[in-house]
Amino acid sequence: MKLLICRPLPEAAVAAVPDGIEVEVRAETAPMSEDEMRRSLSDFDMVIPTLGDLYSAELIASVPEPRCKLLANFGVGFNHIDVGAAKGAGITVTNTPGAVTDATADIAMTLMLMAARRAGEGERMVRAGAWPGWHPTQMLGMHLTGKAVGIVGMGRIGQAIAARCHHGFGMSVHYFSRTPKHLPFETTQHGVLTDCAAAVDVLVAAVPGGAATRHIIGAPVFAAMQPSAFFVNIARGDVVDEAALIGALQAGEIAGAGLDVYEHEPSVPDALVAMENVVLLPHLGTAALEVRVDMGKMAVANVAAFARGEPVPNPV
């Protein structure tokens, strides 16, 4: 059987591929072109794609009888794959849940602290040689301890963020979710997203991407937030109406934002780059070596099970 790994992965992950499977590792770090994706479906039995490899319904339909029968996605998010179209073509889709939870929650906390305490702005000042020295009213930010956090989407990652906020910072936890969640500490569920936004000092997006959540956070949500509140996104870029976010920041409807993802990655609007009260990270959510190794090994475990004719561990 032949396996295509669409981006370079940590060596330990590639080494976990069982003997007997012929492996081709694509050397490019950029997403595949449409021609490359068509080749992946026609020339390989299994593929490990990742974010940016857009297996749309149209792309899948352009290969009428695909040799590929498994898309073992490297990552928990799979909104770049039309799962319905894949299944209709006889292709199983898997992902890597669990491996990314703590690392992504850590980045959420990083962004919360950096935005609230103006850390990015302060570092730029120091690097520019513009720091005049300490004084009592310099760069006063918001103290996170004891504040209220709102989490949009209370899955694995949302719950990990909630635990860090509650136990580490004594924050009260509010959330917007389709179903009630039972955590080992007090939380407040909101059935209306704008109600959740209005009640908190920091609003964090932690929902999966996809058609159901596209632009779930837009102008009405930002208008409901307190002018002193911050917005953080560690989910997918298109869950936020980026133009509405820019408008809210420019109008002073919210105090600032911390972003790890963007609506049209890797493009970041100049308006966001120009704002001192916005922290911008290059999609670092899972960017820790051991986490990426674990993700790779989980993807390979799906490949190995499929190759043996066994049920895959992480179907979507």
Domains and CATH numbers, the chain: 2-97+289-307 (3.40.50.720), 101-280 (3.40.50.720)
Output the pTM of the full model: 0.93
Catalytic, out of 24, 38, 39, 265: 265
CA 34/CA 282 separation, integer angstroms: 24
Catalytic, out of 7, 174, 236, 292: 236
236 catalytically annotated? yes
Q: Given strand 278-280, what is the order of strands in its sheet?
A: 187-190, 172-176, 148-152, 202-205, 230-233, 256-259, 278-280
pLDDT at position 264: 94
Q: What is the pLDDT along the chain (316 residues), one digit of tens a residue?
A: 999 999 999 999 999 999 999 999 999 999 999 999 999 999 999 999 999 999 999 999 999 999 999 999 999 999 999 999 999 999 999 999 989 999 999 999 999 999 999 999 999 999 999 999 999 999 999 999 999 999 999 999 999 999 999 999 999 999 999 899 999 999 999 999 999 999 999 999 999 998 999 999 999 999 999 999 999 999 999 999 999 999 999 999 999 999 999 999 999 999 999 999 999 999 999 999 999 999 999 999 999 999 999 999 999 9
pLDDT at position 132: 95
Q: Is 185 exposed, middle or buried (0-12, 13-18, 19+ CB in 10 A)?
A: exposed
Catalytic, out of 38, 156, 214, 283: 283
pLDDT at position 187: 98
Token reading at 116: 């609230």
State the amino acid at position 18 in one-letter form.
Answer: P
283 catalytically annotated? yes
- Size of the chain in residues: 316
pLDDT at position 231: 98
CA 113/CA 107 separation, integer angstroms: 10
CA 259/CA 282 separation, integer angstroms: 9
pLDDT at position 124: 97
